[in-house]
């Protein structure tokens, strides 16, 4: 069983899989509604989306392994958006400034028989206190567009990360330890 479909258009997830010697056979983004449910907590939201993405793609790809993932940034019980406007990104950066937040990346794998496997990676990220000049410079970079919480840890924003605990690759978008473990459990040969 070496046919793997990645249920995500994220170039970062494809690159992360390559780090452990895996190239998806196909990339099929899942077209699902990503609206949080009323009172849904960040971790549960990420788990639900990863599961729905994998199941959505698996229904049209019988016999393949299908990997879905979702990264959620949360401050307390609050889910931060995948920012689409500079105003959204500014609000996220101001909220995270000088404090810690959590990043959950959930993964879901549907095997060739339709069995579902799930894992979640939880990380804690501390952002230095940002002044207005730093926020405006980051917004001008455009790197925040479409990013959960309005930042990409692997880019310019890394200069503002005071500390992190957990999975760096999970924060980027795919926790490799958990992913490799699930792929092995489902019978896929992982090079490392």
Residue 70 bears catalytic tag: yes
* pLDDT tens, position by position, 42-61: 999 999 999 999 999 999 99
Which parts of the chain register pLDDT below 50?
none
Mean pLDDT of the chain: 95
pLDDT for residue 142: 96
* pLDDT tens, position by position, 83-92: 999 999 999 9
Kindly name the residue from 33, 60, 70, 111 that is annotated as catalytic. Answer: 70
Reported pTM: 0.93
pLDDT for residue 2: 63
pLDDT for residue 123: 98
Buried b (16+ CB within 10 A) or exposed e, 100-121: ebbbbbbbbbbbbeeeebebbb
């Amino acid at each position: 069983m070496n046919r793997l479909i990645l249920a995500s258009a994220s170039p970062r997830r494809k690159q992360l899989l390559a780090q452990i010697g895996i190239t998806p056979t196909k990339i099929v983004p899942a077209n699902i509604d990503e609206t949080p449910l009323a009172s849904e907590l960040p971790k549960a939201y990420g788990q639900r989306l990863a599961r729905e993405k994998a199941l959505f793609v698996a229904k049209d790809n019988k016999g393949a392994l299908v990997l879905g993932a979702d990264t959620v940034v949360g401050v307390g019980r609050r889910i931060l958006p995948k920012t689409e406007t500079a105003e959204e990104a500014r609000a996220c950066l101001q909220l995270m400034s000088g404090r810690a937040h959590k990043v959950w990346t959930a993964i879901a794998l549907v095997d060739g028989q339709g069995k579902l496997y799930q894992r979640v990676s939880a990380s804690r990220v501390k952002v230095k206190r940002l002044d207005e000049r730093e926020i405006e410079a980051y917004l001008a970079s455009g790197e925040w567009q479409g990013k959960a919480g309005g930042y990409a840890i692997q880019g310019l924003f890394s200069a503002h990360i005071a500390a992190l605990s957990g999975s760096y690759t999970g924060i980027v978008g795919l926790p490799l330890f958990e992913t490799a473990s699930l792929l092995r459990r489902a019978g896929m040969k992982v090079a490392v």
